[in-house]
Structure 1
């Protein structure tokens, strides 16, 4: 299963991408995370549905200095498998 997640709040300049990468890797998920010009963070993540739900809870919590106000989660059909988890710039 694949989720595209848009995270709104205080999520840039607070270590959110590195946090997301650490959490995704700890769950064995694949995908990427990047900052968007509008101040949100975009995450594309793929894995088992139950594990993805746990990942989403951790993303909602965020790193210590962040504040997550809103998550927009879109289920997608995987076209090609994602390998590893990276931070995109």
Structure 2
């Protein structure tokens, strides 16, 4: 990864399951050219990995703080992680 690239893991809390949050996140990631994945967790949170140009990752993270129309985001825990080795963005189950 180049010096201006960034990879983060985010755990999103609130009303984020059953409101198309994962599909919305994929659309946002594709729009911003960010790779990675998003998945629901058993504890009713959503976990995501975002990797790409630092500015695009930060823009996507800011969008995730708002979420789609039906969601209510109460908070996001963010941690930096190793570079994502895949390509594109996927919804995982």
TM-score after normalising by structure 2: 0.91
Q: CA RMSD in A?
A: 0.8
Does residue 89 of structure 2 align to residue 85 of structure 1?
yes
In 2, the alpha carbon distance for the partners of 1:28 and 1:53 equals: 12
1:37 paired residue number: 42
Aligned to 1:69: 74
Q: Tell me how far 1:77 sits from its aligned partner.
A: 2.3
The corresponding residue for 1:12 is 17
Which residue in the other structure is 2:28 paired with? 23
| Gap runs ≥5 in structure 1 | none
Matched positions, count: 88
**Shift in Å at residue 50 of structure 1?**
1.1
Q: Give the structure 2 partner of residue 47 of structure 1.
A: 52
Distance in 2 of aligned mates of 1:40 and 1:60 = 13
**Secondary structure in 2 matching 1:47:** strand
Question: How far apart are 1:45 and its partner, in Å?
Answer: 1.0
> Residue 46 of structure 1 contacts residue 82 of structure 1 at CA under 8 Å; is this kept in 2?
no
Q: What is the TM-score with the length of structure 1 in the denominator?
A: 0.95
